[in-house]
Amino acid sequence: MYRHDEFDQAFLRARIERFRDQVARRLSGALTEEEFRPLRLQNGVYLQLHAYMLRVAIPYGTLNSAQMRRLADIAERWDRGYGHFTTRQNIQFNWPRLQDIPDILEALAEVGMHAIQTSGNCVRNVTADHLAGAAADEIEDPRPTAELLRQWSTDHPEFAFLPRKFKIAVSGAPRDRAVTRAHDIGLRMIRDGVGQPGYEVSVGGGLGRTPVVGQVIRDFLPKAHLLPYVEAILRVYNLHGRRDNKHKARIKILMLERGIEALRAEVEAEFARQMAAEGGPAVIPDPAVVARIEAAFAPPPLVPATGPAEAYETARRSDPVFRAWTDTNVLPHRVPGHAIATVTLKAPGAAPGDATAEQMRVLADLARCFSHDELRVSHEQNIVLPHVRLDDLPAIHAVLRRHGLATANAGLIGDVIACPGLDYCALATARSIPIAQEIGRRFADPELQRAIGEMRIKISGCINACGHHHVGTIGILGLEKAGRENYQITLGGDHGENLTLGERAGPGFDAEEVVPAIERLIRAYLELRSGPEESFLAAYRRLGMAPFKAALYGATEGRHAA
């Protein structure tokens, strides 16, 4: 994986010194609060409901054991002993003191980490498929592209004061595990007619209060043109994106108001101007630099197995708990004899995405011993061990079990995604975490979870949709209604390559009615499905909203008139 070199280290040191100086100038009054705010945000520091929050970047969700261990140290020394992994593959610390933050940033820099551009109206931390470099269906590892974009966007002088935030995601496989169409720019690796790799570029995707599925702006972009083309999109957006209304300032609104054809014409014209500029485009990277980045993501030296995985098969036969875990949490690896293991941070009753310092250290140790020192953070708020031998899985599982990390629910109803909600967030209108915890407890029975099958419940505590509720099989949106928390349910969302926004089922539910409503939905699905192989989403697509709506509202019809 990519390791920070002398340049990155020098850059981070200069950046931290600059931020220290900015904090001092805020305190002296040389910077007003309004002027300090974007500087603070672009260094990852939010002001939340109860305290400052520091959002640390985990570029494309990849980290090594030393980095994970450092996150554990920070959680213990400067926070309350835990951290929260987010839907953007970052980690948030919810309780640091402002005056400690430069020291935390130094502790991060020592292991090649930072909090740059994890917030603010700039190009945010670039996300990528969490199975990059390991998945069997991959065309190319998306991380060199994401790293190239990270370097290009870091401290970009032209794009530090955009109309609004700007998110880019990269997928290297036909199966889109990076939710690319829900990003301001989505890049999907494809090959052209003669087998050359490039990108299908989509633009204008986003969830939030106006959910929009991104549209393709370029069918095929050669790899070498990536940065000038992305720069062209950003320049058009920076010049023409709306600045009169924060809620209409994302590029998706520019796309909806002008239409994709007009936006495409402007971007292509800008791209052509850049390619024709005197001395060539400003950002065509040196091939040697690109080659260095690509080399940094060379696959680890995995030895393909030649025979069956004896220890793995034996454990599967003798230990039903292990077998259940491998059925749900283990995915095939491209190298025979290996696997990708998902550690869900979703034990029944847990806050989704939270990990204690101790759990982080356990994960770091497992990565070092069994996964070529690599870990991934998924947008589903889980941790992935991407390169493990099948025969090591029994030992890994035993360690996970001892530390409450062996919950066998990846992709099942207990694997709930939730934003921090009103327990932490200044923007939230309702709590998310207690709903997720209650779902985890109600559906804790592993057999019941397996019987229900694939299910993505996603919960947001306000319309900004950090919990991605629009693309959950079942989405839950917490709002405030007449002083009470009220939860709307959407059905039929899909976060995959056929990105689909869920449909609102009807009036919302009070907090204590939400989980019973989910139970009615699940009961209805189990009765209606054509067989165990028909997922909730497939059944919903076949049957439509009506029978599910009846299950939700049949007994209580007329009680709410929202």
Partner 1 sequence: MPIVTRNGFAPVPPADFHPPEAAAALRAAAIDLPNDADPERLAPHFDRIALIRIPFPVFADGRGFSLARRLRDLGYRGRLRAAGHLIADQFRLALACGFDEVEIDDALAARQPEHLWRAETGPDPRARLRGRAAG
Q: Residue 16 or 465: which CB sits closer to partner 1?
A: 16
Tokens of 503: 């449909």
What is the 3 state secondary structure string of 207-235? Answer: CCCCCECCEEEEEEEEHHHHHHHHHHHHH
Under the binding rule (CB under 8 A), the answer on residue 295 touching partner 1 is no
Shortest Å, Cβ 36 to partner 1:
9
Token pair 């030649």: residue: 306
Under the binding rule (CB under 8 A), the answer on residue 126 touching partner 1 is no
Under the binding rule (CB under 8 A), the answer on residue 383 touching partner 1 is no
CB atoms under 10 Å from CB of 562, counted, come to 9
Under the binding rule (CB under 8 A), the answer on residue 447 touching partner 1 is no
Shortest Å, Cβ 110 to partner 1:
17
Shortest Å, Cβ 165 to partner 1:
13
Tokens of 401: 């079990």
**What is the 8-class DSSP label of residue 404?**
T
Which among 315, 350, 351, 348 is positioned nearest to 330, based on CA atoms?
Answer: 315
Q: Residue 50 or 273: which CB sits closer to partner 1?
A: 273
Phi, psi of 336, deg, nearest 5: -55, 140
**Among residues 107, 111, 283, 302, which is the contact residue for partner 1, using CB under 8 A?**
283
Single-letter amino acid code for the residue at 11: F
Q: Residue 292 or 317: which CB sits closer to partner 1?
A: 292
**Among residues 50, 191, 209, 273, which is the contact residue for partner 1, using CB under 8 A?**
273
Interface pattern 304-323 for partner 1 (x via CB under 8 A): --------------------
Under the binding rule (CB under 8 A), the answer on residue 289 touching partner 1 is yes
CB atoms under 10 Å from CB of 210, counted, come to 14
Q: Residue 22 or 92: which CB sits closer to partner 1?
A: 22
Span interacting with partner 1, options 278-286, 333-341, 391-399, 404-412, rule CB under 8 A: 278-286
Phi, psi of 21, deg, nearest 5: -65, -40
Span interacting with partner 1, options 286-294, 323-331, 431-439, 476-484, rule CB under 8 A: 286-294
Q: Residue 118 or 328: which CB sits closer to partner 1?
A: 118
Which among 377, 499, 472, 458 is positioned nearest to 129, based on CA atoms?
Answer: 377
Under the binding rule (CB under 8 A), the answer on residue 195 touching partner 1 is no
Phi, psi of 396, deg, nearest 5: -60, -45
Phi, psi of 370, deg, nearest 5: -125, -10
Cα gap 139→160, rounded to integer Å: 33
Count of residues engaged in binding partner 1, rule: CB under 8 A: 44
Q: Residue 15 or 372: which CB sits closer to partner 1?
A: 15
Under the binding rule (CB under 8 A), the answer on residue 339 touching partner 1 is no
**Among residues 24, 81, 161, 262, which is the contact residue for partner 1, using CB under 8 A?**
161
Shortest Å, Cβ 63 to partner 1:
20
Interface pattern 500-539 for partner 1 (x via CB under 8 A): ----------------------------------------
**Among residues 20, 25, 242, 560, which is the contact residue for partner 1, using CB under 8 A?**
25
Q: Assess contact for 455 and 502: CB atoms under 8 A.
A: no
Shortest Å, Cβ 35 to partner 1:
5
Under the binding rule (CB under 8 A), the answer on residue 274 touching partner 1 is yes
Angle at 458 between CA 455 and CA 462, to 5 degrees: 165
Question: Greatest CA span in the chain, whole angstroms?
Answer: 71
Under the binding rule (CB under 8 A), the answer on residue 239 touching partner 1 is yes
Which among 428, 495, 425 is positioned nearest to 457, based on CA atoms?
Answer: 495
Bridge partners of 20, per DSSP, are none
Under the binding rule (CB under 8 A), the answer on residue 282 touching partner 1 is yes
Tokens of 126: 């670039």
Under the binding rule (CB under 8 A), the answer on residue 277 touching partner 1 is yes
Cα gap 378→177, rounded to integer Å: 9
Q: Residue 209 or 246: which CB sits closer to partner 1?
A: 246
What is the 3 state secondary structure string of 427-490? Answer: CCCCCCHHHHHHHHHHCCCHHHHHHHCCCCEEEECCCCCCCCHHHCCEEEEEEEECCEEEEEEE
Under the binding rule (CB under 8 A), the answer on residue 10 touching partner 1 is yes
Q: Residue 155 or 294: which CB sits closer to partner 1?
A: 155
Residue 74: partners with Cβ closer than 8 Å, 6 or more residues away: 83, 93, 104, 107, 108
Cα gap 143→145, rounded to integer Å: 5
Q: Residue 47 or 369: which CB sits closer to partner 1?
A: 47
Q: Assess contact for 536 and 473: CB atoms under 8 A.
A: yes
Shortest Å, Cβ 247 to partner 1:
16
Residue ranges in 39-68 that form contacts with partner 1 under rule CB under 8 A = 39
Q: Residue 31 or 439: which CB sits closer to partner 1?
A: 31
Under the binding rule (CB under 8 A), the answer on residue 29 touching partner 1 is yes
Span interacting with partner 1, options 144-152, 303-311, 348-356, 393-401, rule CB under 8 A: 144-152
Shortest Å, Cβ 158 to partner 1:
5
Shortest Å, Cβ 243 to partner 1:
6
Angle at 208 between CA 202 and CA 214, to 5 degrees: 15
**What is the 8-class DSSP label of residue 476?**
E
**Among residues 4, 20, 38, 111, which is the contact residue for partner 1, using CB under 8 A?**
38
Output the CA–CA distances (angstroms, integers) from residue 354 to 89, 193, 380, 418, 551, in the order listed.
13, 45, 12, 10, 32
Under the binding rule (CB under 8 A), the answer on residue 158 touching partner 1 is yes
**Among residues 154, 449, 473, 488, which is the contact residue for partner 1, using CB under 8 A?**
154
Backbone dihedral region of 140: left (phi > 0), alpha (psi from -120 to 50 degrees) or beta? Answer: beta
Coil vs helix vs strand at 199: strand
Helix H or strand E segment including 32? none
Residues that bind partner 1 (CB under 8 A): 6-7, 10-11, 14-15, 18, 22, 25, 29-31, 35, 38-39, 121, 148, 151-152, 154-162, 227, 235, 238-239, 243, 273-274, 277-278, 282-286, 288-289
